[in-house]
Amino acid sequence: MNKISLFTFIILFVFYSCSKSGGGGNTQVTLPLLTTNNVSNARTDVGNVKFRFFVSLSSTYTSDVTVAYSTVSGTALANTDFIPVSGNLTISAGQQSGYVDVSVLGDSTRKNNLKFYLIFTNPVNATISGTDTAYGTIQCNGTYFPVDTTAATGGYLSPSSYTGYNLVWSDEFSGKTLNPANWNYETGNNGGWGNGELEYYTNNTNNSFLSNGCLIIEARNEVYAGNNYTSARIKTDGLQSFQYGRIDIRAKLPVGAGAWPALWMLGSNYSSAGWPLCGETDIMELKGGLNASQIWGSLHWHNNDNTEGTENATYQITPQDFSQQFHVFSIIWKQGYIQFLVDNTPYETRYKSDVTNGVWPFDASQFFIFNVAVGGNFPSTPVSTVFPQRMIVDYVRVFQ
């Protein structure tokens, strides 16, 4: 090699070395950061639902990026709730995203949400922060809910007839949807319904449905129309109303903190007279989180001095609470007289003479309201409560 060529080689080598080192030290190539998203979808009764997990790079790269992935069971089980997958995802050079699909299997059963995991490891030409895990949440909103209503294991079962009474109306909730000749929905938040309640009442099957001969009203912790909870409130107003008789309602109750299940009646003149002039009969209320073994029976009316008149009493069971088995909540209602019962055991009786400051409004017809409120001025707040909270009603019967 001649001197000129050797000199030129040395100059070029020094220039190349300096350009790589920036005048000192080694330049590290910055690899893009790989991130993934969580996915939450409702499963269907039949067929598969595709959960698509997107994988993104913080920047494009000049070479292909690959990363290994695999599903892992959680409360959702492989081959029962989802089809397991594993493999390698490639994001081509110059591209910034890709995806992995996981198929969730169909199931009509209403149950708590299920979760599985999609784990990403061993990236090439990218980095991840430790092990990057995406969560797949399966919303199990089917309308089949297994319920044991038998007397042997399901709790108290009232007789289908009584001496001196005839069955004049009932709903056994044996269809697929609520009978529109019996029930309509109240929806919205309505400013907390006068009680500071936190839920938004809907008319969709997430919050009320029929299954196995029962009505299920389900309170859920979910954001809807600016509220953090949803539930359902149904009534027979304008459809079915009654004056006097024996009323039996068989139900199993939610008892979590903040849950406020209620089976009650309002005077049929509510729309014209307003509350409490119309009168309110609370056949059953429970203060969720405060005493799961105690229910309340109450009457409300309007006093002459424009205050609310109230008479109430409680019924306690032991050692169980009202969520574990069905119980029958009843009133025997006559002119000037209402008696409250649980499982045919009387615990409160009120007479017209008890209203000394106002007018007894309970000799006029009333309609039913069934609902599960969340929060408000009656129960405790729903702190740390596991949702959904469900009230299950087996039947309502009116004898006269």
Condensed to tens digits (0 to 9), the pLDDT of residues 28-42 reads: 679 999 999 999 999
Give the tens place of pLDDT for each residue, 333-386.
Answer: 999 999 999 999 999 999 999 999 999 999 999 999 999 999 999 998 998 899
What are the tokens at 342?
Answer: 């649980």
Report the pLDDT value the prediction gives residue 28, as an integer from 0 to 100. Answer: 66
Report the pLDDT value the prediction gives residue 4, as an integer from 0 to 100. Answer: 44
Q: In the CATH hierarchy, which fold is given to the domain comprising 151-399? A: Jelly Rolls (2.60.120)
DSSP 27-44: PPPPPPBEEE--EEEEPP
What are the tokens at 394?
Answer: 């087996």
Task: Please report, for residues 75, 131, 161, 306, 390, the alpha-carbon distance to residue 181 in angstroms, rounded to integers and kept in the order given.
Answer: 41, 56, 23, 36, 24
Report the pLDDT value the prediction gives residue 27, as an integer from 0 to 100. Answer: 54
Residue positions counted in the chain: 400
Q: Which residues are catalytic?
A: 280, 285
CATH 2.60.40.2030 in the chain, residue ranges? 34-139
Higher per-residue confidence, 15 vs 233 = 233
Split at pLDDT 50, 70, 90, the class of 253 is very high
Give the tens place of pLDDT for each residue, 277-317.
Answer: 999 999 999 999 999 999 999 999 999 999 999 999 999 99
The yes-or-no verdict on residue 276 having pLDDT over 70 is yes
CATH 2.60.120.200 in the chain, residue ranges? 151-399
Split at pLDDT 50, 70, 90, the class of 65 is very high
Report the pLDDT value the prediction gives residue 88, as an integer from 0 to 100. Answer: 98
Report the pLDDT value the prediction gives residue 17, as an integer from 0 to 100. Answer: 44
Q: Domain 34-139 sits in which CATH superfamily?
A: CalX-beta domain (2.60.40.2030)
Split at pLDDT 50, 70, 90, the class of 57 is very high
- Residues with Cβ < 8 Å from 356, sequence gap 6 or more? none
Buried b (16+ CB within 10 A) or exposed e, 162-178: eeeeeeebebebeeeeb
Report the pLDDT value the prediction gives residue 322, as an integer from 0 to 100. Answer: 97
Report the pLDDT value the prediction gives residue 97, as an integer from 0 to 100. Answer: 96
Report the pLDDT value the prediction gives residue 383, as an integer from 0 to 100. Answer: 87
Of 362, 356, 348, 206, give the one whose Cα is nearest residue 277.
362
